[in-house]
Amino acid sequence: MPPALGVGIQLTRGKHKDRLVIPCDHSQQIDGKRVMFSHVFFSDDHGKTWKLGGTVDQHTDECQVVELSDGTLMMNMRNYWGRDGKQLDKDKMRAVALSRDGGVSWGKLRFDQTLIEPICQGSFLRYATKGSDGPDRLLFSNPASKAKRERLTVRLSHDDGKTWPAATLLHKGPSAYSCLTVLSDGSIGCLYEGGVKSAYEKIIFARFSLTSLSQEKG
């Protein structure tokens, strides 16, 4: 039951303020096949003890979680429904689910047609700086291609992930896993795998401003 690739979060608002939430995934044997699921662990005593949170629907893993403007949690997941679930209408796009009880349970999956993927890890983050009381913005990065692991792209949402109107292409060629962070000066950092012939030639760090990303168009 490994943690998902990326980061855990601490909630900042609502009934579950200060709760630590760690996204994870696990597998189960169903009809003789290994099936992946996403879930979370959470702690309400600053990590002294942990509880198992809710499990999201099958054919998902390598999940990331953010807190939305109203305290709802949003899980964003790698999606195997087209391959393992054999539902092509859900293929090659990120799976998303919401929790309104701090991760104890999760709602029905939906599939974000803007966030296309070649079945690969993605990074998902709420843009926040110390002492910031500005509008909530979400960041997402992944290889934005249905064909193969290439075109490492960072996207920006101003409406809790309903739409992603701005995007910037960080790496046109082969690229794979990535991890976003907000740096101390408010700029954005993205550490990712990338190369010329293979996505795994280098580990690359890109740094850019939120303003520059906001001006880009996907």
The answer on 205 and 126 residing in a single domain is yes
The answer on 75 and 37 residing in a single domain is yes
**Predicted confidence pLDDT, tens digits, the chain (218 residues):** 555 677 899 999 999 999 999 999 999 999 999 999 999 999 999 999 999 999 999 999 999 999 999 999 999 999 999 999 999 999 999 999 999 999 999 999 999 999 999 999 999 999 987 656 567 899 999 999 999 999 999 999 999 999 999 999 999 999 999 999 999 999 999 999 999 999 999 999 999 999 888 665 55
The answer on 211 and 167 residing in a single domain is yes
**Domain's final residue, options 92, 114, 136:** 114
The answer on 107 and 1 residing in a single domain is yes
The answer on 87 and 30 residing in a single domain is yes
Q: Which domain holds residue 142?
A: 117-218
Instruction: For residue 68, give the amino acid letter.
Output: L
Comparing CA positions, the residue from 75, 96, 92 lying closest to residue 6 is: 75
Instruction: Tell me if the pTM is above 0.85.
Output: yes
Note if 117 is an active site residue: no
Beta strands in the chain (DSSP E): 9-10, 20-30, 33-43, 51-58, 60-67, 73-79, 93-99, 110-116, 123-127, 137-143, 150-157, 166-182, 188-194, 202-208
The answer on 108 and 5 residing in a single domain is yes
The answer on 216 and 121 residing in a single domain is yes
Q: How many domains does the chain have?
A: 2
The answer on 150 and 63 residing in a single domain is no
**Domain's final residue, options 114, 143, 169:** 114
Contact between 171 and 149 (Cβ < 8 Å): no
pLDDT at 24: 96
The answer on 196 and 103 residing in a single domain is no
The answer on 135 and 98 residing in a single domain is no
The answer on 101 and 2 residing in a single domain is yes
Q: Which helix (H) or strand (E) holds 211?
A: helix 210-215
Grouping H, G, I as helix, E, B as strand and the rest as coil, residue 210 is helix
pLDDT at 129: 72
